[in-house]
Every structure is written in C-alpha cells, then in structure tokens.
Amino acid sequence: MNLLARELGFQALNAKIRNTSHDVIIDECYGERFIGAGARSKTITVNGTPGNALGAYLDGATIIVNGNAQDAVGDTMNDGKIIVYGNTGDALGYAMRGGKIFVKGYAGYRTGIHMKEYQDKKPVIVVGGSTGSFLGEYLAGGLIIVLGLDTDEFPAGYFTGAGMHGGEIFIRSSKPSKNMPKQVSVKTAQEADLNRIKDNLEEFSELFGKSMNEIMGKTFYHLTPNARNPYKQLYTEN
C-alpha cells in the first residue's frame, strides 16, 4: 500500500495503516504523528520526516525511515525494529521494553530514558552518532550503544546514566568522560564485553554501510549501575 501523508493528515493516515495487513510505503511525510503505533506484522517505510511518537507501543512491525525523525521514537515499544537513516529528536526509546532501534546519525536528549527489560525481553538502541544529555536516565534494563561516528569528542552530553539502576551502556570514544554521576560505574570494555554486543554492531554496519574496522577503531567504555547506587533499592528487592 502506498500512501501520501500530506493528503491524509495523521489520523486518516494511521487509520489506513492499522486497517491493512500489507506492507506500507508512506511518501511526503512532514511531521505526521503516531505513525505505526502498536503495529505488529508489517513493514512501514517512511519517506520524509515523521512526527512525534513514531512506532509508539510497536509490537513486532518494522519501521524504516528514509530521513530524520522527531521526538519519542519507539515510546514504550514492546517488540519489532525501527531503523532511521538520519537523526532523531529527544526521548528516543522512552520506556522501551523490547525490540531494537538503529539510528544512523545522532539522537537528542534523554535517549533510552526509563528503558527496562523483563525475562526474554531486552530492548536495544544503537546510535551511530552522538547523543544529548541524560543518556540512559533512570535506565532499568536493556542495552544502549553510542558509537560517536560524528565526533572526536566524548559522544554523550551531561548526566549520562543519571539514576541508572539496571541495564548497560557502551560508548565508543577516544577519551573517557570525567563527569559521570555517582550511580554509574565505568570501565574499559573487554573482549568478552564486546563479543556480547558484536551482533548489534554487525547489524548496524550492514544497515548503514559502516565498516566494522571503523566501528572497532576506538575504545568502548562500558557503563553499568554502581553497586552502591542509592536508586537501586527503590526499584528492586535487593
């Protein structure tokens, strides 16, 4: 199914997406919101710039964006995949609880805020460029990888991992950050650590045409919750 977003408006557009079992191609997208919300078993290709909450509550579908995306991509996403061949706004993967998001460029503030995991559900975000401040804020589970392919500086802003009490973050950089909150423990990633995320790095490489040699050309720093984190007792039984 081929749809012209500008002729429909976001409500009619989303109604057509919900009511078809076929794959969807959306052209001339200029900020239409909620595209693919709750979608399960189709591929949705967006040509243009989708608005806020792209793929909110996504439950198994694949969304491909040939352009940039706005705020709250993958909000409370449960399963599926979102691939953005540009940049994204703030709150990427907010409260995400499953599936994968790949972004070729940069992401805004609060990427991965409140991400969580349960049993076999482990959400993954891979950002090829840099991110804004509050990366992984209140992170409760899942995996965030920031590759910093767009900068020689540390590719995350202030307050990375603030309130972090679960999950893990990998940041590729030629230099470590000296301004991590007390809730975060930072170490240089070892071979065993990198082997655990290799499949996600290879998938990013294949999607966006970045060589693994380039991706592996800098040190990765591994961020985990500090065992003495005062937030931990608020969210777990231990």
Decide which of 90 and 177 is more confident.
90
Half-sphere exposure of 138 (CA within 13 A, CB side): 11
Bridge partners (DSSP) listed for residue 8: none
Please state, in angstroms and rounded to a whole number, the distance separating the CA atoms of residues 151 and 129.
Answer: 7
Structural domains of the chain, ranges and CATH numbers in brackets: 87-235 (2.160.20.60)
pLDDT (mean) for 187-216: 97
Please state, in angstroms and rounded to a whole number, the distance separating the CA atoms of residues 215 and 108.
Answer: 21
Residue 236 clears pLDDT 50, i.e. is over it: no
For the segment 95-116, what is each residue's pLDDT rounded down to a tens digit? 999 999 999 999 999 999 999 9
For the segment 157-193, what is each residue's pLDDT rounded down to a tens digit? 999 999 999 999 999 999 888 778 888 999 999 999 9
For the segment 14-72, what is each residue's pLDDT rounded down to a tens digit? 999 999 999 999 999 999 999 999 999 899 999 999 999 999 999 999 999 999 999 99
- Taking the chain, what is the end-to-end CA distance rounded to the nearest angstrom? 50
Distances (CA, A) of 118 to 47, 76, 129, 220, 234: 33, 13, 28, 26, 17
- pTM here is 0.94
- AA identity, residue 138: Y
Residue 238 clears pLDDT 60, i.e. is over it: no
Please enumerate in sequence order all residues whose Cβ is within 8 A of that of 191, keeping only pairs 6 or more positions apart, or say none: none
